[in-house]
Amino acid sequence: MPPETPGAPVPEDPHSGLLAVLPRITQLSAAITKGRLVERATEHAGLARERPAMGVLVSLRTAGAPLRIGEIADRMQVVGPHVTRQVQILEKRGLVRRVADPHDRRVSLIEPTGAGTEAANRYATFVLGWFAETLADWPQQDRDDLARLLARLADDVTARLTRGDADGDD
């Protein structure tokens, strides 16, 4: 790499506008983690010891329908065996059950029991209440913009990772 000439223009970084976002993502993640939001919500749901399993219940709750293990894994962005272990824990606690797939009787779907739905609802109520309090002073338009842009970012990041081009090669 040739030495820079004093006074020569510095080439513009095509990603400079995004540079300020990275520390903010890290800040947000650290604040939520250090603030123990997920742990507190899981405790509120009555599943403090089964924190990883809470993701399965939340996935089922947001789906609104029974799902295959693979579908739950895709939604959680984890591997199937991880979900299988969590489902087994939830089954033992009476929070989910296996039901036959109406389209393929060889396949089991996972659905929450009444108690599982109640636990997922307690979790969601806690988390949503916490965020609602945090954003209470924001104008409605800002809250709407945040929801829209965050959903778009999550969808785009998930889609790109699913395609397998996380390394930036297109």
- For every residue of the chain, DSSP letters joined together read -PPPPTTPPPPPPTTHHHHTHHHHHHHHHHHHHHTTHHHHHHHHTT-GGGHHHHHHHHHHHHHTS-B-HHHHHHHHTS-HHHHHHHHHHHHHTTSEEEEEETTEEEEEEEEE-HHHHHHHHHHHHHHHHHHHHHTTTS-HHHHHHHHHHHHHHHHHHHHHHHHT-TTS--
Position 121 in a domain: yes
Position 2 in a domain: no
pTM of the predicted structure, to 2 decimals: 0.77
Please give the tally of structural domains in the chain: 1
Boundaries of domain holding 69: 33-133
What's the confidence (pLDDT) of residue 112? 97
Position 10 in a domain: no
Per-residue model confidence as pLDDT tens digits over 85-134: 999 999 999 999 999 998 888 889 999 999 999 999 999 999 999 999 99
- The CATH number covering residue 82 comes to 1.10.10.10
